[in-house]
A and B are shown apart, each in its own frame.
Chain A
Amino acid sequence: MSDIIAPELKIIDPKMTAHNVNVFYGEKQAIKNVSIDVGTDLVTAFIGPSGCGKSTFLRSLNRMNDTVAGARVEGEIKLEGEDIYAPSMDVVQLRARVGMVFQKPNPFPKSIYDNVGYGPRIHGLAPSKADMDVIVERALTRAGLWDEVKDRLGESGTALSGGQQQRLCIARAIAVDPEVILMDEPCSALDPIATAKIEELIHDLRGKFAIVIVTHNMQQAARVSQRTAFFHLGTLVEYDKTTDIFTNPKQERTKDYITGRYG
């Protein structure tokens, strides 16, 4: 039963494709044989109970697992047809192309301006101060934070409220103009109002970036995503249109989870 491979869901124009991916932490296998495509203009949600491997899989999409001692990834993950684990792939550039927003808001203890400008600066995207001003304003506007912070760009990013900090982190991720944004439970540390703002933002960003969001909250997955993947015990149990997953799940385990039988 644990080796069920989810029925292939055809994604037209995939941004990232994963094929037979296994992730190990030392001896322990955290992800078993997962194959999944992520659509370019879609928001894809990964749901599943704690410890099911959804965050692990997310972190292998931009090779953040490389920083974990003993972590090992097998299989094939491609970004626009390019194998991201190939020796020729520059991991630093990959992480700029596949940006990430973390569970806990983690702005740098620098000014709001420097937080957003950091990525463009290290990648040389803004040759002049004027270019940088434009990039920072655009990123903050897209993240829906510009009006709230435009008069205090010099203040520390850590002085903002939790929800604002998380939107600042999103602005920081989109400032380098990535192709994919990975969000690892971006709302789990936020109150309902801040959560609603982030969800609204995800709606707005859809189509500009491919978005993958990991969430515990099934209502959130239903609200923001078009495709949902259900992970359990390191395997991908079911991957389908979000409406189908929540109204007409094909697997027994998916049904049990979304009806609250376990998780």
Chain B
Amino acid sequence: MNKATSPTDWKGQAMQSRIARRYASERRFKLFGLAAVLISGAFLAFLLITMVGNGARGFTYTHVAVPIDFKEMPLSIDTNRLGDDDADQMIANAGLADIVAFASEEALGSDAASLISENAWKEVRTAIKDDPQLLNGRHNFDLPTSSAVDIAAKTGAKSDVSATVQQLKSEGKLSTGIHWPFFRNADATDPAVAGIWGALKGSVLTILLAFIIAFPTGVLAALYLEEYAPKNRWTDLIEVSINNLAAVPSIIFGLLALAVFINWFGLCQASPLVGGLTLALMTMPVIVIAARNAIKAVPPSIRDAALGVGASPVQVVFHHVLPLALPGILTGTIIGMARALGETAPLLLIGMRAFIGDVPGGLCSPSTVLPMQIFLWSDEVDRGFVEKTSAAIIVLLFVLLSMNALAIYLRNKFEKRW
């Protein structure tokens, strides 16, 4: 009797060791998986902790109390014109900056100029515009400090100004509060007045425009290709092209946009309009692919059922196929939009990396976007921008997480239970 014909020995030594080996490999695989999850979790935790640790300080700012007496140093302006468009210019021309500088020197000593932010007078200007009565007397203003003082006060790090900061602290003149200009202003060279709102608004406008263009076009293209297009060599070619477009590096879309939208069409440079068009180009193939897969996943029996009661092809698509495919389409779209939101490279080429000191007013005004703002601030020399960079990253991550949460919500809302 040879080996092959003898009955299988289920209890033998060889079988036992095979079982042991199988168990060991299962355990090993589970362990590797767990290790992978733990490592990525650790990286994520590290990222979040450093970001929040640095970034939280970016949302606050140190102020110093300075009394200004407008009776002694009158600001000769026409208070009736404070609502005008040129009110800012009028106040600046009246010499408010000098008054504030003088008052701070009186209060803080001769080195006040290095303690107070050079833009501090703009805070006073805003206060005056809100309440012209301030001009009639003596008031304490909380002026933003220079970024050196701000860092020394917040971190306690040793620097040229630490001694002064210690003294001001003990006198109770320093206070730390939420840095409202950060949420109100656009970029600036001075971290005391630099804000994220310009970039945030630029991002929102850009992404909204990209969505408004890419979503309907992408979904309609997918519907046409899946439901109407004949299956022939041309549609195969289109399919291959779309798949390739989705894989094209984003900077190439930037070059294309520069050549077509700016040089040829002459659209406004560095604007959310061109940015949105560029990101729409980049996102559309992703949406087409996601939508086609979602449409393919709709069971053919539903199409048959609708056709069987006499629904026209358009009715089949809009009453049945699209609603059933919508959760998948939305998930793919929002992942594509989230990628577009974090995109920097194509926007570099259309001029959105320029320093923009104003909050964009509309689709055609110069603007930047959140990731570009992060890049610009990370390049700044002033140490105050380190915190601002982290704060901007937190804002960007917050927007991304909100978009993903929206994706999950929409998917659950539209998902049909079978």
A169 to B302, CA, bound (A): 11
| Pairs across A and B, CB under 8 Å, 5 listed | A92-B311, A95-B307, A102-B308, A106-B302, A119-B309
Q: Is A104 an interface residue (CB 8 A)?
A: yes
Partner of A158, one of B306, B308, B319, B418: B418
- A sample of 15 more A-B contacts (CB under 8 A), given A64-B308, A158-B416, A176-B310, is A64-B304, A69-B230, A92-B311, A95-B310, A96-B309, A99-B309, A102-B304, A108-B306, A108-B320, A109-B302, A122-B312, A122-B315, A156-B416, A169-B305, A173-B309
The proximity string for B residues 299-325 relative to A, scoring 1 for CB distances below 8 Å and 0 otherwise, is 101111111111110010001100010
Instruction: Judge whether A99 and B418 touch: CB under 8 Å.
Output: no
A49 to B162, CA, bound (A): 95
Instruction: Judge whether A107 and B312 touch: CB under 8 Å.
Output: no
Give how many A residues have a beta carbon under 8 Å from the other chain's beta carbons: 30
Quick one: given A122-B315, A156-B417, A158-B418, are A106 and B309 in contact (CB under 8 Å)?
Answer: no
A141 to B312, CA, bound (A): 27
Instruction: Judge whether A158 and B309 touch: CB under 8 Å.
Output: no
- Kindly provide the distance from the CB of A221 to the nearest chain B CB, expressed in whole angstroms: 22
Q: Is A118 an interface residue (CB 8 A)?
A: yes
Instruction: Judge whether A102 and B307 touch: CB under 8 Å.
Output: no
Cβ contacts under 8 Å, A217 to chain B: none
- Kindly provide the distance from the CB of B12 to the nearest chain A CB, expressed in whole angstroms: 46
- Kindly provide the distance from the CB of A198 to the nearest chain B CB, expressed in whole angstroms: 17
Q: Is B231 an interface residue (CB 8 A)?
A: yes
Instruction: Judge whether A122 and B304 touch: CB under 8 Å.
Output: no
Cβ contacts under 8 Å, B231 to chain A: 69
Instruction: Judge whether B307 and A67 touch: CB under 8 Å.
Output: yes
A169 to B309, CA, bound (A): 10
Partner of A119, one of B230, B301, B310: B310
A156 to B418, CA, bound (A): 9
Q: Is A150 an interface residue (CB 8 A)?
A: no
The proximity string for A residues 163-189 relative to B, scoring 1 for CB distances below 8 Å and 0 otherwise, is 000000100110110000000000000
The residues of A with any CB-CB pair to B shorter than 8 Å are 62, 64, 67, 69, 92-97, 99-102, 104, 106-109, 118-119, 122-123, 156, 158, 169, 172-173, 175-176
A108 to B302, CA, bound (A): 6
A173 to B320, CA, bound (A): 17
Instruction: Judge whether A108 and B305 touch: CB under 8 Å.
Output: yes
Instruction: Judge whether A109 and B310 touch: CB under 8 Å.
Output: no
Cβ contacts under 8 Å, B303 to chain A: 67
Cβ contacts under 8 Å, A102 to chain B: 301, 304-305, 308
- Kindly provide the distance from the CB of A110 to the nearest chain B CB, expressed in whole angstroms: 8
Instruction: Judge whether B304 and A92 touch: CB under 8 Å.
Output: no
The residues of B with any CB-CB pair to A shorter than 8 Å are 230-231, 299, 301-312, 315, 319-320, 324, 416-418
Cβ contacts under 8 Å, B230 to chain A: 69
Instruction: Judge whether B304 and A158 touch: CB under 8 Å.
Output: no
A123 to B418, CA, bound (A): 27
Cβ contacts under 8 Å, B309 to chain A: 95-96, 99, 118-119, 122, 172-173, 175-176
| CB-nearest residue of chain A to B315 | A122
Instruction: Judge whether A100 and B302 touch: CB under 8 Å.
Output: no
- Kindly provide the distance from the CB of B247 to the nearest chain A CB, expressed in whole angstroms: 29
A93 to B309, CA, bound (A): 9
- Kindly provide the distance from the CB of B411 to the nearest chain A CB, expressed in whole angstroms: 15
- Kindly provide the distance from the CB of B213 to the nearest chain A CB, expressed in whole angstroms: 31
| CB-nearest residue of chain A to B308 | A100
- Kindly provide the distance from the CB of B231 to the nearest chain A CB, expressed in whole angstroms: 6
Instruction: Judge whether B305 and A107 touch: CB under 8 Å.
Output: yes
| CB-nearest residue of chain A to B310 | A96
Quick one: given A122-B315, A158-B418, are A106 and B310 in contact (CB under 8 Å)?
Answer: no
- Kindly provide the distance from the CB of B328 to the nearest chain A CB, expressed in whole angstroms: 14
| CB-nearest residue of chain B to A93 | B310
A79 to B242, CA, bound (A): 45
A118 to B315, CA, bound (A): 11
A95 to B319, CA, bound (A): 17
- Kindly provide the distance from the CB of B235 to the nearest chain A CB, expressed in whole angstroms: 12
| CB-nearest residue of chain A to B320 | A108
Cβ contacts under 8 Å, A106 to chain B: 299, 301-302, 304-305
A-B CB proximity, top 4 nearest: A96-B310, A119-B309, A106-B301, A100-B308
- Kindly provide the distance from the CB of B88 to the nearest chain A CB, expressed in whole angstroms: 59
The CB with the most chain B CB atoms within 10 A, among A67, A99, A172, A176, is that of A67
Instruction: Judge whether A109 and B311 touch: CB under 8 Å.
Output: no
Instruction: Judge whether B315 and A158 touch: CB under 8 Å.
Output: no
Cβ contacts under 8 Å, B307 to chain A: 64, 67, 95
Partner of A122, one of B302, B311, B324: B311
Cβ contacts under 8 Å, B311 to chain A: 92, 118, 122
Partner of A104, one of B301, B312, B315, B320: B301
Instruction: Judge whether A92 and B310 touch: CB under 8 Å.
Output: yes
Cβ contacts under 8 Å, A122 to chain B: 309-312, 315, 319
Partner of A109, one of B308, B315, B418: B418
Cβ contacts under 8 Å, A104 to chain B: 301
A156 to B415, CA, bound (A): 13
Cβ contacts under 8 Å, B305 to chain A: 102, 106-108, 169, 172
Partner of B312, one of A92, A119, A173: A92
A67 to B230, CA, bound (A): 11
A178 to B303, CA, bound (A): 19
Cβ contacts under 8 Å, A92 to chain B: 310-312
Cβ contacts under 8 Å, A109 to chain B: 302, 324, 416-418
Partner of B308, one of A93, A123, A173: A173
- Kindly provide the distance from the CB of A100 to the nearest chain B CB, expressed in whole angstroms: 4
